[in-house]
Amino acid sequence: MVQAAIVQQKLQNLYPQLLINILGISTSGDEILDQPLNKIGGKGLFVSELETLLLDGAADIAVHSMKDVPATLADGLVLGAIMQRANPCDVFVSNKYSSLQQLPAAAVVGTSSLRRQAQVLALRSELVIMPLRGNVETRLEKLTSGEYDAIILAAAGLERLGLLQCLDKPLNITEMLPAVGQGALGIEYNASRDDIQKLLAPLNHPISAACVLAERAMNAKLDGGCQAPIAGFAEIHESTLTLQGLVANPNGKTIFKATYSGNIRDAALIGETVAIRLLEQGAGSIISELKNMWQKDAW
């Protein structure tokens, strides 16, 4: 809702003559909190109901955290704008410890992200990962109540909620490679609405859009969904885009990494190249194995 309000205000500033209302709904991803996302349909559960509203004409646009948007959109829908990316990093949050390194053995870390789980265990294999779902406030309450020694959250979400006191222990990119699209907001609309496309154009940030395009192209080529720990982060210096990609086993014992650079105009190709390099290392076997396990409910 906070993110929707950000977009509402920007559009209102651009078009003061328009009446812009927020239609708030609760998605399946918001409501099913007792199971991991990768067992109940993945991050797409946060966007599927919104996409239905767009296809039915009940809503004109939908605002998403790009890290929650599946690699393939529903037929008939497109992304009209990728807004300027906020902080893409993750944050270590704890009331008792100042870093992952300071956690005692067997300390409990809360996250339902396989990507975060794998990278935490790669750094500290003796830590205990426990599932953690719910909105940011709910997660912070569970930390305060003592259910967890630490939790991992996205910096961008904390910033947008004004929870700046939780941002003092950032995890750098070398410790925790972000999720694909993390920190960026995307605006989706019905492809038949040319009028919407024109209205959204000023909100698109070309640099952020190119980075997210590269990351999503990598993710699409890997075809991992949220069943496997996949991370990707692109940066641009002058006209060169560099993408780092990662695929890991959830236990953190096997991690494949790849990096590739090229011209910003070739963002999608750069993403596909990183994916191919990861697959050549053996990442495909991890992705296939995990997909089969989840489908059989073996976990």
Question: Mutual orientation of helices 267-281 and 283-295 as an angle, nearest 10°?
Answer: 80
CA distance 221 to 271: 8
Which candidate in 30, 56, 68, 168 is catalytic? 68
Confidence (pLDDT) at 292: 84
In which element (H, E) is residue 155 found? helix 155-160
Tokens representing 196?
């919407």
CA distance 200 to 90: 28
**DSSP letter at 145?**
T
CATH code for the part of the protein at 90-171:
3.40.190.10
Confidence (pLDDT) at 26: 75
Confidence (pLDDT) at 165: 92
Q: Is 158 exposed, middle or buried (0-12, 13-18, 19+ CB in 10 A)?
A: buried
Question: Mutual orientation of helices 283-295 and 206-222 as an angle, nearest 10°?
Answer: 70
Confidence (pLDDT) at 30: 53
With tokens 């069943």, the residue in question is 227
CA distance 101 to 23: 43
* The three-state (H, E, C) secondary structure of 180-228, written as one string: CCCCCEEEEEECCCHHHHHHHHHHCCHHHHHHHHHHHHHHHHHCCCCCC
Over the chain (299 residues), the average pLDDT of each successive run of 10 is 96 96 75 51 68 94 94 94 97 96 97 96 97 92 96 96 93 96 97 95 98 97 87 97 97 97 98 98 94 67
Residue ranges matching CATH 3.40.190.10 in the chain: 1-84+183-204, 90-171
CA distance 8 to 2: 10
Residue ranges matching CATH 3.30.160.40 in the chain: 205-299
Q: Which amino acid is at 173?
A: I
Among 37, 35, 59, which residue's Cα sits nearest to residue 49?
Answer: 59
Right CATH for 1-84+183-204 from 3.40.50.1000, 1.10.3720.10, 3.30.70.1350, 3.40.190.10:
3.40.190.10
Confidence (pLDDT) at 281: 97
* Residue 13: Cβ within 10 Å count: 8
**In CATH terms, is domain 205-299 a member of 3.30.160.40?**
yes
* Residue 39: Cβ within 10 Å count: 14
CA dihedral of 72, 119, 211, 155, whole degrees rounded to 10? 100
With tokens 């154009």, the residue in question is 201
Confidence (pLDDT) at 299: 43
The answer to whether 90 is a known catalytic residue is no
Tokens representing 293?
């396990």
CA distance 171 to 112: 17
Confidence (pLDDT) at 49: 85
Confidence (pLDDT) at 152: 97
